[in-house]
Copies of this chain bind each other. A is one copy, B any other.
Amino acid sequence: MITLYDLAFEEDRRPSPFCWRAKFSLAHKGLDYTDVPMGFTEKEKIAFADSRTVPVIKDGEKPVKDSWAIAVYLDDMYPEKLLLKSEMGRSYARFINGWADTVINAALFPLIVGDLYDRVRPEDKPYFAESRGARLGTKDFTAFQERAREKGLATLRTALEPARRALREQKFLSGAEAAYPDYILAGSFMWPRTISPLELLDADDPVHAWRERMLDLFDGMARKAKTA
């Protein structure tokens, strides 16, 4: 039996892009799991895994922390539907992981930081304000977000160009069917979707059509998640 520790905001919203990588991975394998929501400051819930961040899973007695380690672990233990598929697939996923973290999530964060703050659980607001305030040099997240959106939306859309080119040629980043590279980028899009009303993509963008397909997977798992 698998337990997943998932970051929760107010009204049980689940924005963490890293936790979504794990949720898509578990769904890809068809594995059931018990969901444990936790706030930013409930670090004691995942102390057993020697982790301070989610996602963390517990498979029987085995703790696994970090989204990448979870994907690798699941492929090792449940090899029937591989997430990474091959050495090339693992290399591709590694590249997309770095790209999503350093380019896409970095472009998204300033656009939604005010919306994130508004929907953080009340007891987690001081933690969020301190940690994100230090990173941005301000705690006025609404004003910061407002300014960032002037140019930041165009920056994000430009940054998506490599994905857009691939998605003009094929249904998913991984080919005819979705696999871990798709789950990484889909996780990035679940981050704004669950906490912000901001629309990021033009309706005729191939990335938009792909995002719809990702929302449809696994009986609409991601589409059913609470949105802003």
> Interface digits, A79-107 against B, CB 8 Å rule (1 contact, 0 not)?
00000011111111011111101110000
- Also in contact, A98 and B162, with CB within 8 A (given A85-B86, A89-B88): yes
From the candidates B91, B162, B176, name the one contacting A87 in the complex (CB within 8 A): B176
Bound CA span A170–B95, Å: 11
Residues of chain A in range 57-116 having any CB-CB distance to chain B below 8 Å:
85-92, 94-99, 101-103
Q: Please tell me if A175 contacts chain B, counting CB pairs below 8 Å.
A: yes
Q: How many copies does the complex hold?
A: 2
Shortest distance from the beta carbon of A104 to any chain B beta carbon, whole Å: 10
- Is B102 touching A161 in the complex (CB atoms < 8 A)? yes
Question: Please, which residues of chain B bring their CB within 8 A of the CB of A99?
Answer: 99, 162
- Is B94 touching A91 in the complex (CB atoms < 8 A)? no
Interface size on A, residues (CB 8 A): 33
> Interface digits, A169-195 against B, CB 8 Å rule (1 contact, 0 not)?
110111110010100000000000000
From the candidates B92, B103, B158, B163, name the one contacting A92 in the complex (CB within 8 A): B92
Interface residues of A (CB under 8 A from B): 85-92, 94-99, 101-103, 158, 161-166, 169-170, 172-176, 179, 181
- Between-chain CB contacts (< 8 Å), 16 pairs: A85-B86, A86-B88, A87-B176, A88-B88, A88-B174, A92-B92, A92-B95, A95-B96, A95-B165, A95-B181, A96-B162, A98-B162, A98-B164, A98-B165, A99-B99, A103-B161
